[in-house]
Amino acid sequence: MNDIIFKIGGAFLTAILAFTVGMFYAGLRRKITARVQNRVGPPIYQNFLDLLKLQSKRTNVAHGFMGHMAPIWIIIAAMTVLMFIPILQNNLWFENLTLKGDLIFLLYMMVFGSLGMALGAGQTGNPNSAIGVSRGLSQMVGFEIPFVMALVALMLQFKTTSIADLMHFQFTSGHWIILENPFAFLAALLSSLGMFRYSPFDIVGAPAELASGPMSEFGGKYLGTMMTGGAVFAFIKLVLFVDLFLGGAGNNSVEGIMGTGLGLLELLLKTFLFYMIPVFVGLVSPRYRTEQAIQFFWKWPSVFGILAILWALYKNGTLL
Amino acid sequence: MSILDLKGLLVPIGALKQMGKHPHTINFPDEEKNISDRYRGFHHNSLEDCIGCGNCSTICMNEAIDMVALAEIEGGKGDSGLRPRVDYGRCCYCALCVDVCPTGSLNMTKDFIQVTNNPYEFLLTPGKDNPEAKEKVSFKADLEASLNIFDRVPMRELDPGERVKSFAEVLLGYNEEEARREANRCISCGLCTEACPVHMHIPEYINAIAQGKDDEALKIIYDNNDLPEVCGKVCTRRCEDVCAIQVRGEAVAIRWLKGYVTETADNADLIKQIVTPEIREPNHYKVGIVGAGPAGLTAGYYLSLRGYDVTIYESHKDPGGMVMYGIPKYRLPYDSIQKQVDYMVKMGVKIHYNTRVGKDISFQEIYDNSDAVFLGVGLQDAWNLGIEGDDADGVMSAIDFLGKINSGETVEVGKKLISVGGGNVSIDASRVGRRLGAEVDQLYRRRIKDMPADWEEIEGAEDEGVHLIPQAIPTRVIKDKKGKVKGIEYVKAEMISEGGGRPRPVPIEGSETIIDCDIIIAAIGQKADYSLLPEDIADKLKMERGKILVNDNRQTSISKIFAGGDAVKYGNVDAISAIADGYYATLGIDKMLMKKE
Amino acid sequence: MSEKNTIGIPTVEEIKQAQIDFSPRCTAAGRVNDKETQKMVDYILNFARKHSLFVLAYGTGCGAIEIPATMTSRYDAERFGIRGAATPRQADILMITGYLSTKTLKRVIRVYEQMQDPKYVIAFGSCTINGGMYFDSYNTIKALDRYLPVDVYIAGCMPRPESVIRGFVKLQELIQKGNAGNGECYRENLDWYRENQQKVIKNWDFPENYNW
Amino acid sequence: MSNFKKETKILKSLKDVFEIKGSVKSDKRISIKADKKNVSSILLFLKNQKGFIHLNHISCVDWIEQNEFELVYIVWNPKTRLTVMVHTRIKRDEPVMENIDTIWDQANTYEREFREMFGIEFPGLIGAKEFILEDWDNIPPMRKDFNSQQYAIDTFSTRPGRENAQNVREAIQKRSGEEIPDFAKKYSRD
Amino acid sequence: MIREQETTLYLGPQHPGITGNMMVKLKVKGDTVIKAETHVGYLHRAFEKLIENRNWLQSFTLLCRFCVPEPDPMELTYARAVEQLEGREVPERAKYIRTIVSELARIQSFLLWYGGQSGSSGLYTLGQWSVGDRNYILDLFEDLTGARIYHMYMWPGGVRRDLPEGWIDKAYKTMDYLEKRLTDYNQLLFDNAIFQKRAQGVGIIPKDKAIEWGVVGAPLRGTGIKHDVRIDEPYEAYDQLKFVVPTYEGGDVWARALVRRDEIKQSISIIRQALDKLPGGSYYNRIPNPMKWTVPAGEAWVKTESVRGEIGFYVVSDGSNKPRRVHLKGAAYAHGVSVLEKILPGQNIADVSFILNSLGVCPPEIER
């Protein structure tokens, strides 16, 4: 019974945590961007105000059924994925659903959100949205390949499809996977740039080209909900990377609430550091064209992906 | 790009070092940036300095500037009483209005923020609504960069050495190019028209000159001034005193421009051809005019245009009155008057010369035969000096002196001539004295800058060698045994201002000086001679200090008698006022007689 | 106004009346909820609204040249939570940066109607107030409030970044008071606005309904 | 003129081939007047034979007093850096001009503009009828007989509030009692 | 790519990627443009009509509004045209001040271009820097002329006001600051591998057709053809100052960008030289009373090298106090319509805005 309470309570806490951290990180990103650009920038909680404002819009126009559904679809997808991500290691509250094969499940679910967006955008009839969706899907094809390769390498190397197992391995062995299989990390890192859709891979919503792409026709509540989904997804990606490559969080031996706190602190630190990579790259890069972006992913990340698989095979002895 | 352009990937990362720098953002509105000292923000108008010429409103191509009446501004001579109001829904902040402001009262300030949700709040009367902006004036109406031309086109004149040799005209007049250039300076505000006693259409004819249409200009001038050539040469031009340009520069040479235009038509036929005045059907009313001075001639001309039967009675053998006899020929040549009188005669004015009313014809006769009578008798008698020995032989009034010279008589001036007074007449006498070969000293009670004479006249006199002795009060004329003038004694005076009024000359004890001289010309004022009037009429005619009282229509207390010119207490004593009197008396007579019907 | 020179000149009252007749609608509409219980909620929502203003990236006229200066590092409008929005659906503020040609007006009306309530219009510069320097042009409209409800006018030609920021601050004040955002008012008075708009836009090919 | 050798040479070669009037205006500027039917051949000659390959500008001036439009083609030679201005006049009543967008493509833009703003027809001109204006139903606006201010007053509304403005000249006139005759009024300041 | 069917895409008038307020109607197949059509008229204010109601001086305040990012070349060209008609001499000092102002205008416009060119490719950081730093140039303008954008400073006969006190020092300092910042910009933009990849080979203008197409300014010099009005027909003080006109081969966005990068350096050097050599004397040859100022009948065709290339004013006077015709030939007139329509087909839609910025299309110049 306790188990269930922890699970349900944990789910709530996870959701709140993901939302808050995701939104704060977005605010932080704007602040850092501003500083690099020699200016003051908005307050760090700016995104909360934006969200509140969007939600308080008095009219909200939607285009058809999918128009309504797309944001919901995204938020559902985000929450679903979130539930399968272990936030903290060995913590009753933040373990969430762990099951064998959740890595594979995640691979599918993470596309799910984009799909909802694609359907919703398709129904608006705005050509910018249509082109944006087609670009988004193309780009996804691009970055998913190295990303999947990296994950496959991990699966092969550690002979597991469970994130929890990977975290456990890093905890017990004390070796982070970033060192165990650096090629997998590199492949995943480079494809993560694409996942975050910051420059140079912001080709989906590229303002100067497609207004804001698939989001063109969404405003008010819809846009607010999508923003929430986006923030949660950003958190998911960060935590996933930390879990997979940076040893996860919560690897401390302190008991009780203090342990949870320390774990969360560790998580924030790691995710923040990791988050800075796409942010900084985004700050200094112009945008790729679609085919250049795909070329990019199919070039170096894919090479790293193949190397990662070979490395994994070498490591677990299959290759030799 | 090679497969991996490392430099191309890493160098841009260097941009991140900017993160350590302090942002250069201006934290407006908490922190404000310095606005430059030349910023073109909202306007500020110094309400006292502004004369309401409306030039700002004219130059504004956006029609952003309106001229509005303000409760606190009372107009007057040289001030239209209107002040600019700017519509910031039109203004483009080009500051052309500032650069054309002749007074420099309109400036732009460092204020530029106005934010409101009411679109009707963008009307601002600079100076009234933002008095505090005076401190923030930034874009100034610079004298150097102003679009107004403050320097007059110089008038060519005879060399002083040449001048004293003859009575040839001193001012040579503008040529066409100069006239266009001078006319171009005018900003056409029309402030001058109010100062002009006859309210000539000054901006209109100057514009016509500027556009090269001298004929049109002449036509406009003749609309209410029939002696423009006289005015063009000897007018006291009160218009130029209130000229908008004159506030910071030299007034537009309105008089000289008028002179230029009248010279385009150099005979009476040509004038007639150009002016082509509209003459109304004769209406069989008769008007008698006494005196062919400027007032009488004007009244005669405009009355005859209106269809009246006009007869002018003149005691002298030539027309023009004081203009003819009181002004030396180097200023106003004889032809000028004659040409204009010829033209008037062509237009139907009848003039009886050498007919002294009261002697050759009785006033009563004229009065009875006419439906209206216009008195333009002028001031014929001069005041004498009123000091000891002023009855000496050789003491003369300037009027007599000039009159004699002008009518061709010779006057023995001897070696040394003393002229007393500071007005134009006195200067005239001095300059005529120089032309007759005498050395001339001129005594004046006050300082030179207090002289009522025109500054050009004073300058001209000095150029010609007239020795001005200011602050000198004559006390005694010294006679020799025969009763002839031998010298004049005067005391120096110091200027003492009491109660803020005009400074008064007070004699300095013991500063008596004596100058030897052969002739003394006094020009200290004139008075009228009403001996021509029968007693009953003279009694009924209301007078004040020897001058006839009239209303706005120049109507005297006897409704049938109108009066004008120097003998009338209305306005100043000069030719243009006389012309104005003649003109407005015409309107008055017209109104009176037409009403009767 | 003194008594002098007043012949044929309209009085202050006459002018006021003419102004009311000219643009009677939607000037500073009060949209404050009168329920006591709602006050706190309104306060919070208005707080969020005023600090999160998305500006539609549409440079309708020459005032757009000071927008980059306002939005970039030297003046940095993002301090106030102001940022660009690429499409009207996402935007809160429509900036009419100066003159509007009739051809643009048609697009602007369309854009405005696509925006979501509460939406604000900021009018830049002289041209939007009374025609500015194009007052006699055959192709630009003269008074914006005849065609769209305007929340804030900024004087200038062009308004400097300081003025623009002051305009935003003014809008924030109005939002906090609940006095900004005339979208509903526009819809209620749609007939009046349509009449004015159709007078200028000859070939009217808009959809029948307001929000499509 | 010995100073303008190159200019005179071009002018002479043009005069040899075509019936034109022309003169060297100033340094590097040659101005010629040609008949409307010769213009395209002159331009072609200049472009192909004389190296004036750059079309600087085409302008149109409405000389309503003479009831004519003047079209000015300005071409430039990048080698010698000379400019030739070819003037031609067409009747305002039948404003038809030869289409030269086969010689220079960008002439198409000018011609579309003139078709719209002056109502000049260029036979064979492709491109949408509406270039700058939209739904224009008045006379072409750049013609001198179109009164923009009047149109603006009729179509757009001016904000009230400024009706108490006065004219300085009139205010003074009212105060002083001056009467300006009608023939003088046109010289008054507006 | 994925969807190979034809769609019509309207780039503008409300679109973040458009320069100004215009519209490019694109026929798109997948990601590739197959046909482009420029639609202008959204900014048509009928300047040339309004001038009929304004006299020679009043027109001058209107004309600087032709193209918003660079009002000064317009003022200068008009002033020169009127001076040519009138035969009015300009004092030497005014010529130098005019040179300085037009070069400052060039720099500020290039800084704006940095923002546009990088912003249209998603590199917003550079735009924030350069457009922010542009304010320092505008401060100089404000001190000198009294306004940030519409200076209305160079009028027929010279300039409106003399240099204020301390301005020369401030100008030197600003130039030093800018030169330092330029290295930062160039590191971020020109050394950037991604920008190089984006810009190279995009939007090519063929060298042999460039002049015939009416290409001018940086796009022309980007094809390797060296033409610049400042050299071809020197005006103001340009014949007394040393500068190089940079050219690059290629005719693509990259070459155009390099030309502009080098020109901004040249401008800084020109300003320094002009400030060094600034002669004394009068700065303004007074015009007559503007309300009565008539200009002798005649025509003038005057060219100036603006930021986007050669602009020209064709001014006709009929001897009255108002211009008969003032007709602007803007650099964008050919660039924005015929050239754009020729080079866009075959490009990726991602590059449309990129190319627009690199051509410097300024719609108000097309429709006026």
**Across the B/E interface, how many CB contacts are shorter than 8 Å?**
107
Distance of CA C141 to the CA centre of its chain: 14
Instruction: Using CB atoms, pick whichever of D149, D156, D174 lies closest to residue C200.
Output: D156
Query: Phi first, then psi: what are they for E38, rounded to 5°?
Result: -90, 130
| Any domain includes E1 | no
DSSP result, E64-95: TTSSTT-HHHHHHHHHHHHHHHHT----HHHH
pLDDT tens profile A8-29: 887 888 888 888 888 888 888 8
Q: What percent of chain E has pLDDT over 70?
A: 99
* Spatial separation of the C-alpha atoms in residues B589 and B555, rounded to whole Å: 8
Q: What percent of chain A has pLDDT over 90?
A: 0
Q: Where is average pLDDT lowest: A14-28, A171-185, E195-209?
A: A171-185
**Test mutation, B25, B94, B189, chain E, max E CBs within 10 A:** B94
Mean pLDDT over all residues of chain E? 86
| Any domain includes E160 | yes
Segment A263-270 long-range contacts (CB within 8 Å, at least 24 positions apart): A263/A88, A263/A89, A263/A91, A263/A94, A264/A17, A264/A88, A267/A87, A267/A88, A267/A239, A267/A242, A268/A21, A270/A242, A270/A246
Residue E100 has pLDDT above 80, yes or no: yes
Residues of A with CB under 8 A from a CB of C: 30, 34, 37-43, 46, 49-50, 52-54, 56-61, 205, 207, 211-212, 215-220, 223
Tell whether E35 lies on the interface with D, counting CB pairs under 8 A.
no
Give how far Cα E273 sits from Cα of A293, B516, B517, E145, Å: 46, 73, 72, 21
Dihedral angle, C-alpha A116, A118, A120, A123, nearest 10 °: -150
Nearest of A92, B82, B556 to residue D165 by alpha carbon = B82
Number of domains in chain C: 1
CA-nearest residue to E131 within chain A is A37
DSSP result, A124-178: H--HHHHHHHHHHHHHHHHHHHHHHHHHHHHHHHHT---HHHHHHHHHHH---HH
pLDDT tens profile C42-75: 888 888 888 888 888 788 888 788 888 888 888 8
What pLDDT score does B565 carry? Answer: 82
What pLDDT score does A121 carry? Answer: 79
Give mean pLDDT, residues D149-167. Answer: 83
> Which of D:123-182 have CB within 8 Å of B?
159, 161-162, 164-169, 171-173, 175-178, 180-181
Chain D neighbors of E310, CB-CB under 8 A? 56
Low-confidence stretches of chain B (pLDDT beneath 50):
1-2
What pLDDT score does A133 carry? Answer: 83
Domain of residue C103: give its range. Answer: 55-200
| Any domain includes C98 | yes
User: Counting beta carbons within 10 angstroms of the beta carbon of residue E243, is it exposed (0 to 12), middle (13 to 18) or buried (19 or more)?
Assistant: middle
| Any domain includes C35 | no
| Any domain includes C38 | no
* Spatial separation of the C-alpha atoms in residues E194 and E122, rounded to whole Å: 11
Decide if B149 and E288 are in contact by the 8 Å CB cutoff: yes
Mean pLDDT over all residues of chain A? 81
* Spatial separation of the C-alpha atoms in residues E62 and E48, rounded to whole Å: 10
DSSP structure class, residue B473: E
Give mean pLDDT, residues D54-69. Answer: 89
What pLDDT score does C3 carry? Answer: 40
Tokens of B341: 């009188």
* Spatial separation of the C-alpha atoms in residues E5 and E262, rounded to whole Å: 42
Residue C211 has pLDDT above 50, yes or no: yes
- Min Cα separation E244/chain A (Å): 30
* Spatial separation of the C-alpha atoms in residues E290 and E58, rounded to whole Å: 8
Tell whether B8 lies on the interface with C, counting CB pairs under 8 A.
no
- Segments in B375-521 forming alpha helices (H): 398-406, 424-435, 455-463
What pLDDT score does A242 carry? Answer: 84
Domain of residue E235: give its range. Answer: 6-367
Distance of CA B89 to the CA centre of its chain: 40
Nearest of C102, C67, D113 to residue E368 by alpha carbon = D113
CATH code for the domain in which residue E242 is found:
1.10.645.10
pLDDT tens profile A267-279: 888 888 888 888 8
Q: Give the chains touching E; criterion: ≥3 Cβ pairs < 8 Å.
A: A, B, C, D
pLDDT tens profile A25-47: 888 888 888 888 888 888 888 88
What pLDDT score does A277 carry? Answer: 87
* Spatial separation of the C-alpha atoms in residues E218 and E204, rounded to whole Å: 13
Decide if E161 and B142 are in contact by the 8 Å CB cutoff: yes
pLDDT tens profile E292-334: 888 888 888 998 988 888 888 999 998 888 888 889 888 888 8
pLDDT tier, E269 (very low <50, low <70, confident <90, very high otherwise): very high
* Spatial separation of the C-alpha atoms in residues C91 and A220, rounded to whole Å: 9
Query: Phi first, then psi: what are they for B505, rounded to 5°?
Result: -80, 130
Tell me the three state secondary structure of residue B216: helix
| Any domain includes C174 | yes
Residue E260 has pLDDT above 60, yes or no: yes
Residue E1 has pLDDT above 60, yes or no: no
Give the residue extent of every domain in chain D.
Answer: 5-155
**Test mutation, B51, B59, B61, B66, chain D, max D CBs within 10 A:** B66
pLDDT tier, E356 (very low <50, low <70, confident <90, very high otherwise): confident
Tokens of E74: 């317009």
Give mean pLDDT, residues E43-57. Answer: 86
Residues of E with CB under 8 A from a CB of A: 1-3, 7-10, 15-17, 28, 30-31, 118-125, 128-129, 132, 188, 192, 194-195, 197-198, 348-354
Q: What is the largest CA-CA distance in chain D?
A: 72
Tokens of B371: 């439906």
Residue A64 has pLDDT above 80, yes or no: no
What pLDDT score does E195 carry? Answer: 85
Decide if E150 and B93 are in contact by the 8 Å CB cutoff: yes
* Spatial separation of the C-alpha atoms in residues D172 and D175, rounded to whole Å: 5
* Spatial separation of the C-alpha atoms in residues C181 and C175, rounded to whole Å: 8
Number of domains in chain E: 1
Whether residue E192 contacts residue B8, with contact meaning beta carbons closer than 8 Å, is answered with yes
pLDDT tier, D183 (very low <50, low <70, confident <90, very high otherwise): confident
What pLDDT score does B3 carry? Answer: 52
CA-nearest residue to E302 within chain D is D29
DSSP result, E295-357: --SEEEEEEEEETTEEEEEEEEE-SSSSEEEEEEE-HHHHIIIIIHHHHSTTSBGGGHHHHHH
Residue E349 has pLDDT above 60, yes or no: yes
| Any domain includes C188 | yes
pLDDT tens profile D87-111: 999 988 888 888 888 888 888 888 8
Contacts of C71 (CB under 8 A, 6+ apart): C77, C78, C82, C83, C84
- Min Cα separation B142/chain E (Å): 9
Chain E neighbors of C66, CB-CB under 8 A? 148-149
Query: Phi first, then psi: what are they for E223, rounded to 5°?
Result: -95, 0
Query: Phi first, then psi: what are they for E140, rounded to 5°?
Result: -60, -45
* Domains defined for chain B, CATH in brackets: 43-139 (3.30.70.3270), 152-276 (1.10.1060.10), 279-379+540-597 (3.50.50.60), 382-496+503-525 (3.50.50.60)
Residue C28 has pLDDT above 50, yes or no: no
| Any domain includes C67 | yes
Chain B neighbors of C179, CB-CB under 8 A? 117
pLDDT tens profile B530-585: 777 888 887 888 877 778 888 888 888 888 888 888 877 766 777 888 888 888 88
Chain A neighbors of E31, CB-CB under 8 A? 131, 135, 289-291
Beta bridge partners of B520: B395, B418
Instruction: Using CB atoms, pick whichever of C11, C18, C200 lies closest to residue D155.
Output: C200
Mean pLDDT over all residues of chain D? 84
Decide if D156 and C7 are in contact by the 8 Å CB cutoff: no
Decide if E191 and B37 are in contact by the 8 Å CB cutoff: no
Instruction: Using CB atoms, pick whichever of B23, B69, B115 lies closest to residue C5.
Output: B69
Neighbours of D178 (CB within 10 A): 19
DSSP result, C63-77: GGGHHHHHHSTTT-G
* Spatial separation of the C-alpha atoms in residues E298 and A131, rounded to whole Å: 55
pLDDT tens profile B279-309: 888 888 888 888 888 888 888 888 888 888 8
pLDDT tier, E199 (very low <50, low <70, confident <90, very high otherwise): confident
Tell me the three state secondary structure of residue D76: strand
Right CATH for D5-155 from 3.40.630.10, 3.30.1540.10, 3.30.460.80, 3.90.180.10: 3.30.460.80
pLDDT tens profile C87-135: 888 888 888 888 888 888 888 888 888 888 788 888 888 888 888 888 8
Give how far Cα C4 sits from Cα of B71, B84, C8, D172, Å: 9, 17, 11, 12
Whether residue B437 contacts residue B413, with contact meaning beta carbons closer than 8 Å, is answered with yes
